[in-house]
Chain A
Amino acid sequence: MMTFLTYLVSGVSLGSVYAIIALGYTMVYGIAKMLNFAHGDVIMVGAYISFCTTSYLHLPAWLSVVFAVAVCTALGVVIEGLAYKPLRQAGSLAVLITAIGVSYFLQNAAQLIWTSNTKVFTSVVGLPSVRLFGGRLTITGETIVTVLACLLIMAGLTFFTGGTKLGKAMRACSEDKAAAQLMGINVNATISMTFAIGSALAAVAGVLLCSSYNTLIPTAGAMPGIKAFTAAVFGGIGSIPGALLGGLLLGIIEIFASAYLSSELSLAIVFGVLIVVLLVKPSGLLGRYVPEKV
């Protein structure tokens, strides 16, 4: 029973990270209708920035997170402006290949800057572990912070998209760009804003992910990025609560699969979930079904 709870806790922790990354995917996909392959690599950049500021500049942990968020936000806006904006009218194949190119660029640039050696990432969380049931169940400080951060971000974004003017503009753009423009919304600025928010979230996710796992390599973001996309699709792409639900479920499935079924096959199982979801319910658990118009 205790082992089950331990696995559940680590599943929720991992799932919360996936949920934060999935939020970035979901928002960008919802508004720009493009799969931002480079999102996972922005996570990695965020983690490296945090690593550098704490290890080389000896800044306090909270400041390093602020730095990471600032750099990633700028990076997200620059990527959007240079690579994706010129292709707004182009077909999805061209945009997708460009996104892969950006992802590849970030990975290889990181490899040149920070080398491919594994860096030991010191956790930015100072919170002590909590022991429950007489020490049989340990919840680490990282887990608590990750889950809290995830819930906080979720609540903040729900308020932002529902209550603020900019959030409403975002939803309008995701519904119909041309109509939004006619209503006086600056579509390009709104899309840039979405990328900025998504990349800021990616930075937070990167720092939290590396705090839990303590290792950092240039390809660290690629796999979590793809899994988080799976989570976003699972929950229903474009839906914020869907990203939370999909992320948590995927994290729990991944941990349980590697604990109870086979650790070697956990990747295959996670992707198997994606394929089953796409075939059975492509709109996801909480997504809306949008019929195709001819």
Chain B
Amino acid sequence: MNRLRTMKPAARQNLISYTLVTAAYLVIRLLQGQGMLSRSIQGQLVPICCYIVMALSLNLVVGISGELSLGHAGFMSVGAFSGVAAAVSLESGGVGSPAVRLVAAMAVGAVLAAAAGFIVGVPALRLQGDYLAIVTLAFGQIIVNILQCVYLGVDAGGLHFNFLDAELHMEGGVSIISGPKGTVSVTKIASFTAGFLLILVALAVVQNLVNSRAGRAIMATRDNRIATASVGINSTKYRLMAFVVAAALAGAAGALYGLNYSSVAPSKFDYNTSILVLVFVVLGGLGNMWGSIVAAAFLTALPETPAMRGLADYRMLVYAVVLILVMLGTNNPSVQSFLNGKLRRKKRRKEGAVK
């Protein structure tokens, strides 16, 4: 207990985060063991983990780095498809252990998504604001569009790849990615435990980055790019760092997501998914990692509860309204002064007393 008090605030916060996530995991495991979770919620456990990691990583870009990325699902798709390809080829190569395949798939997904993030980020991060948003949106669409034309299979001779043409010239073997249909007949090896571990890793990466020298440089760039550049910080480098790290995490989440379903189409990762993750980040609070976790978990699980089933049609409508209201509430000076009215008056009274 004493050690906890003498720790740095950042380190203490990290420790609390890990403890709380672990506690949540254990509680859900316990409920699962008691059979107290409905089937639909159980089916959502892995996607919830994926969306939490997506929200954490997007929060790094939008909240910490201050740039609106509308193509985050594109990186998830890169991770999903490369991860599935890795897992299936390992399986046909004789690797029996699902855990090894899953970890390898997530690693491959993260690396390739990071590469995609680098390729997208180098040109895109020369831009700012609206232009950056629209370019990331465009890249997200391009990635999905290209993946819709990819055909990949594996047989005894190794991987067979073709673009725009379904003919793979394989001798036996299995098809992995089949154009617009996406991944086909994948062995589902994703597990809730893996998702939980991925959340811990993502949380560790993001929080350590935010509390590091690089993280401070990223936030300084967000707050005032010109002032930051004038004290000798290479702002492009740090913005790119945040972007690539976020892409890598999204890739790992994508690999987990892809291995949770027997078939996932590229169109699953379109603009709407990017916006959904953005909704999680904005509702959770920009720059607030805890908010992202809670919002992603809550908003993914909520529509699955029986009480909300009837309102499923209105879900997106409500999200849209809440998105607008949150923005108005946090950014409009008159609304803010109304909300802070009492608080400020108290403060002023205190200040008056000091004088």
Contacts and interface: CB of A to CB of B under 8 A. Distances in A.
B142 A271 contact: yes
Interface stretch (B51-59, B81-89, B240-248, B323-331): B323-331
Contact of B282 (A92, A97, A112): A97
Contacts of B324: 83, 98, 101-102, 105
Given A86-B328, A87-B332, A294-B226, A104 B131 contact: no
Interface in A219-270: 222, 226, 229-230, 233, 262, 264-265, 267-268
B130 interface: yes
Interface size grouping (class) on chain B: 35 or more
B331 A274 contact: no
B138 A230 contact: yes
Nearest to B137: A226
Contacts of A102: 320, 324
Interface in A91-125: 91-94, 96-98, 100-102, 104-105, 107-109, 111-112
Contacts of A2: none
By secondary structure, the A interface counts as helix
Given A83-B328, A279-B126, A264 B278 contact: no
Interface string B111-154: 00000000000011011011101110111011001101100000
B164 interface: yes
B335 A86 contact: yes
Interface residues of A, number: 43
Interface string A43-80: 00000000000000000000000000000000000000
A90 interface: yes
A189 B324 CA distance: 22
Contact of A35 (B62, B134, B145, B275): B134
Contact of A108 (B124, B148, B317): B317
Interface in B302-321: 313-314, 316-317, 319-321
B316 A282 contact: no
B66 A93 contact: yes
Nearest to A88: B332
A206 to B, nearest CB: 19
Most chain B CB inside 10 Å of its own CB: which residue of A87, A104, A265: A104
B271 interface: yes
A179 B331 CA distance: 25
B328 A100 contact: no
B334 interface: yes
Contacts of A3: none
Given A264-B148, A267-B142, A268-B142, A93 B68 contact: yes
B315 to A, nearest CB: 9
A105 B68 contact: no
A112 B314 contact: yes
A100 B164 contact: no
Contacts of B157: none
Nearest to B148: A264
Interface of A: 29, 34-35, 83, 86-87, 89-94, 96-98, 100-102, 104-105, 107-109, 111-112, 222, 226, 229-230, 233, 262, 264-265, 267-268, 271-272, 274-275, 278-279, 282, 294
19 contacts: A35-B130, A35-B134, A86-B331, A90-B327, A94-B327, A94-B331, A96-B129, A97-B68, A98-B324, A100-B275, A105-B324, A107-B316, A112-B314, A226-B134, A226-B137, A233-B134, A271-B139, A279-B126, A282-B127
